[in-house]
Amino acid sequence: MTTLDAIARTTGTFAMVAMDQRESLRHMFDAAGRGRPDDDVLIGFKTDVATELAPSASGFLIDRHYGFDSVREILPTTTGLILAADALTQDAGGPVEETTIDDVVARHPLDGVSAVKLLIIWRRDEHREERVALAERFIALARDRGVLSVLEPVVRAAPGEGEWDMDAAIREAARELASLHPDLYKAQVPLAGTGDERAQREASAALNDCMTGPWVVLSQGVAQSRFEDAVRAACMEGASGFLAGRALWSDLVGTENVRAGLRERALPRLESLIRTVDDVARPWRDA
């Protein structure tokens, strides 16, 4: 039986790299002044990230559209392969609005895949129960396919919703969806990483109280310079590590020598985060 050890460090904690961005990555190239790139540019960037960062990571997340085959070929056996199983509703240059399970992934050969991941856009709207059912189907699908399930809720205000407290929504989503018992829950960083150590730890402890199993944090929405402190605070209060992309490599999108930049900037960030995880994160079996 596959356990979370397949995407964890030998310590039972997680230091995973996310590289499953699709139109969002294309927009990042555009925002960096490089225009909207062809698919080959996206695949090349993702492959470069995998080449330089995957050997140090416990897991590597990739989508099936841009680079899956090339990444699978170069990934070390010590790094668990995670496949994004989400089909995204997203306009060019805009945020992901809704998701569902990618039917192709549901039928895709999963040779070498340790886990599948589903992004869910969580809102307090009339589709809330449908999203819970979607998460349940995803967890059951992963179990049936013999791979791990990684559930990633990202909260958004519903149209017309009045007072909006993102952290309250992150906790509410966790209470609702962690109770479905995915193998691993991927949560947004409390306070978007803007709090001091005490505030981050208090907010992380409140989020941990909503969890029913092991969880990690993602980096979207957190300033790159604040992410490691946020990871430390979350791990000190119950998280088991991170699954992060932008905090590692976002400033290298559109640069001339990506591989050199990854070695000089992104890899040291990853290595420092790994030291933090090894120092304070809770092993997944203790969650």
Residues marked as catalytic: 186
Domain count, the chain: 1
Does the pLDDT at position 92 exceed 80? no
Instruction: Give the pLDDT band of residue 1 (cuts 50, 70, 90).
Output: confident
Report yes or no: 281 and 15 within 8 Å, Cβ to Cβ: no
Other CB atoms within 10 Å distance of the CB of residue 7? 29
Determine the Cα–Cα distance for residues 274 and 287; give it in Å rounded to an integer. Answer: 19
Strand partners, 187: 217
The stretch 137-142 carries a mean pLDDT of 96
Give the range of the structural domain holding residue 60, as residue numbers without chain letter: 4-286
119-129 pLDDT tens trace: 999 999 999 99
The continuous run of DSSP H or E covering 113 comes out as strand 113-122
Does the pLDDT at position 170 exceed 80? yes
Determine the Cα–Cα distance for residues 239 and 258; give it in Å rounded to an integer. Answer: 31
Tell me if the pTM is above 0.95: yes
Q: What is the CATH number of the domain that holds 176?
A: 3.20.20.70
* Percentage of the residues of the chain whose pLDDT score is greater than 70: 100
